[in-house]
Amino acid sequence: MSEKIKATINGSEFEFPVIEGTENEKAIDISKLRARTGHITYDDGFKNTGSCQSEITFIDGETGILRYRGYPIEELAEKSTFLEVAYLLTNGELPSTAQLDEFRREVSEYTPIHHDMRHHFAGFPSTAHPMAILSAMFNAVSCYTPHLTESTYDKQSFEEATARLLGAASTIAAYTFKKANGRPFTFSNPRLGYVENFLHMMFTDPYTEYEIDPEIVKALDLIFVLHADHEQNCSTSTVRMVASSRANLFASVASGVSALWGPLHGGANTAVLKQLKQIHTSGMTIEECVRLAKDKDSDFRLMGFGHRVYKNFDPRANILKKACDRVFSVLNKKDPYLDIAKKLEEVALTDEYFIERKLYPNVDFYSGIIMRAIGIPVNMFTVMFAIGRMPGWIANWREVRENPDSVIYRPRQVYQGPTCRSYVPADKRG
């Protein structure tokens, strides 16, 4: 018999069904709570609220598990590529060779954005934040594809919109970089793979030669794979919320970019690099830095440490740490920031404060150092995160739109403002 939870409210007893997930997670279904009892639940920040049932990504933060569509992140990181993972997330299954070839071809076909869109870039100041441009440009892409902005859903349009968004993301990111540096735009090269082509558009121009290093391609591809989805985080929940109103994929993803921009979410990778720079330039010792992070009178925190969900380790951070070592050794590079990061990690991981609170390096701790080695400027780190997260946003949008029972997301609140009062004319207000 399926489990039920009993609640006694104002002396009356009510039963609520329990929903069980495929990994034995349990949730009390309170969807009829208000209708039956007049009460709502209160959960500020949704820390304890399941907003949906999803088949996309599974996380167990206690044991450091992350799986996309059932596949462990460690296996995907080792054996797969970003476009293959994008196909997996957005379609539910890994592609056959023919399916993957077709997916690559479609993404490549739509990577060049409409030529008129260069005028949009001309309108932004060169000091514009790349995340502001990215969000605005995703909505702008839809202006050139009105047939994809219908509120109805069909699979063919979804596939075209997916390929357009994945392709456009790399072009918009590269053009934003060129715009900020006053360099000419470089057109997409359809003979190159997704990441190679992105590096080509970023770093090549008629005055600059850039040799695409396969190790760098591998490292950036890995960063994208590790960021591709992360269950109901702030930006993905935002995308689902917007999708629930039947808004199109471009508008929904543009809102996801805005949510990701915040320093408590996608902006954390930038904060890690700023902190490493601060330590490096100020000459602060590692011990002083750890002491400050533990001092409750200071608001200094070790950026890149701790995670709301992972409480033993972040599996993505373990993978990236190894990748970081490989990149620096293959490229024969040195970076004082990497030395500081390693010492910080070593000291923090043996310190009682961090052990007690289960604070481990998260995905942002090493991703920024790798991106710095690649030559990506710090203010574009969150844009790289956005390119990586695109398949997750798209997959979640699709899940909402294909759910026949989907309703518009519309939470309730507990009102704490003034009770009813009468209007007073301006000249009579004290």
In whole angstroms, what is the distance from residue 132 CA to residue 39 CA?
Answer: 40
Indicate the residue whose CB is closest to ligand ACO. Answer: 306
User: Does residue 357 bind ligand ACO (CB under 6 A)?
Assistant: yes
Of residues 82, 78, 76, the one with CA closest to residue 100: 82
Q: Backbone phi, then psi, for 176, in 5-degree steps?
A: -65, -40
User: Does residue 59 bind ligand ACO (CB under 6 A)?
Assistant: no
In whole angstroms, what is the distance from residue 392 CA to residue 401 CA?
Answer: 14
147 flagged as catalytic:
no
Q: Least distance in Å: CB of 36 to ligand ACO? A: 33
User: Does residue 362 bind ligand ACO (CB under 6 A)?
Assistant: yes
Alpha helices in 125-213 (DSSP H): 130-143, 155-181, 194-203
User: CB burial class (10 A; 0-12, 13-18, 19+) of residue 129?
Assistant: middle
Q: CB neighbours of 175 closer than 8 A, spacing ≥ 6?
A: 113, 118, 121, 185, 201
| Catalytic, out of 116, 364, 405, 427 | 364
With respect to ligand ACO, which residue has the nearer C-beta, 63 or 245?
63
Considering CB under 6 A, how many residues would be counted as binding ligand ACO? 16
Q: Least distance in Å: CB of 224 to ligand ACO? A: 14
Of residues 234, 260, 227, 257, the one with CA closest to residue 370: 227
Residue from 133, 163, 293, 387 touching ligand ACO (CB under 6 A): that is 293
User: Does residue 363 bind ligand ACO (CB under 6 A)?
Assistant: yes
Cα 42 → chain centroid: 26
Q: Backbone phi, then psi, for 120, in 5-degree steps?
A: -65, -40
Stretch binding ligand ACO (CB under 6 A), from 88-96, 137-145, 248-256, 298-306: 298-306
User: Does residue 302 bind ligand ACO (CB under 6 A)?
Assistant: yes
Q: Least distance in Å: CB of 320 to ligand ACO? A: 12
Stretch binding ligand ACO (CB under 6 A), from 56-64, 89-97, 159-167, 359-367: 359-367
Cβ atoms of residues 361 and 304 within 8 Å: yes
Helices and strands, counts by H and E, the chain: 18, 6
| Catalytic, out of 221, 229, 307, 314 | 307
Q: CB neighbours of 410 closer than 8 A, spacing ≥ 6?
A: none
Stretch (H or E) spanning 219? helix 214-227
In whole angstroms, what is the distance from residue 229 CA to residue 394 CA?
Answer: 10
405 flagged as catalytic:
no
Stretch binding ligand ACO (CB under 6 A), from 248-256, 295-303, 317-325, 394-402: 295-303
Residue listed under structure tokens 């007049």: 38
Site for ligand ACO in 303-322 (CB under 6 A): 303-308
With respect to ligand ACO, which residue has the nearer C-beta, 117 or 317?
317
With respect to ligand ACO, which residue has the nearer C-beta, 183 or 265?
265
With respect to ligand ACO, which residue has the nearer C-beta, 298 or 329?
298
Q: Least distance in Å: CB of 349 to ligand ACO? A: 13
In whole angstroms, what is the distance from residue 75 CA to residue 348 CA?
Answer: 28
Residue from 359, 373, 387, 395 touching ligand ACO (CB under 6 A): that is 359
With respect to ligand ACO, which residue has the nearer C-beta, 141 or 359?
359
Interface contacts to ligand ACO, rule CB under 6 A = 265, 268, 293, 301-308, 357, 359, 362-364
Active site (catalytic) residues:
307, 364
